[in-house]
Amino acid sequence: MIEEIKQETNTHNQKAIGALDDAFNKIRTGRANPAILDNVMVDYYGTMTPVKQVANVVIEDNRTLSVVPWEQNMVPAIEKAIMKSDLGLNPATAGNNIRIAMPMLTEETRKDMIKVARAEAEKARVSVRNGRRDANSSIKELVKEKEMSEDEGKRSEEEIQKLTNAAIAEIDKHLQEKEAELMKV
């Protein structure tokens, strides 16, 4: 039973770290990253659809994304959707190809992006701690129902705490890497 609880906690922690990585991918740095367009939705025949499902998004060079729609008539809709997004990007269309140059980040913008990254990391830490709380309450319930001794319960809670500490350390490592990436000029 305790192995199941530990496995659930570990899975929960990995999902929290995965969500953090997804959030970090959406934070704009000075470099081109196709993941920045993941939340941009375009009107595709009356249905709001992610850009990556109606076009090919690739890195052209270190600072430029190239968006090539699969249908020629989607070019203006994709361009408009990118401009309307709150990403601060200005697409330039050349025939069937939409190029998006990543603007250089100012020092102030970098600091704002770091604040966003820290907030996302804190959300991930809270999620991990919530997983620990749920696991500990399950353990306490097992001890209360006499399915586990108190000593086993204490040991199990210590193991859950070790998993939590490891997950939080990994979150902090990801945050340090993102901060370094944002501050690199």
Lowest mean pLDDT among 35-39, 97-101, 138-142, 166-170: 35-39
- State yes or no: pLDDT of 96 exceeds 90: no
Q: What is the pLDDT of residues 69-81, one digit of tens each?
A: 988 888 888 888 8
Structure-token match 């399915």, residue found: 147
The backbone region for 146, taken as left when phi is positive above 0, alpha when psi lies in -120 to 50, beta otherwise, is left
* CA gap 155, 160 in Å, rounded: 9
Comparing 104 with 180, the larger pLDDT belongs to 180
Q: What is the pLDDT of residues 173-182, one digit of tens each?
A: 999 998 888 8
For helices 150-183 and 2-26, give the axis angle rounded to 10 degrees.
Answer: 10
Backbone phi and psi for residue 108, each to the nearest 5 degrees, phi listed first:
-65, -40
pTM of structure: 0.74
pLDDT band for position 185 (cuts 50, 70, 90): low
Q: What percent of the chain has pLDDT over 70?
A: 98
* CA gap 182, 114 in Å, rounded: 7
- State yes or no: pLDDT of 51 exceeds 80: yes
Q: Domains, the chain, ranges and CATH?
A: 2-26+106-183 (1.10.132.20), 34-101 (3.30.1360.40)
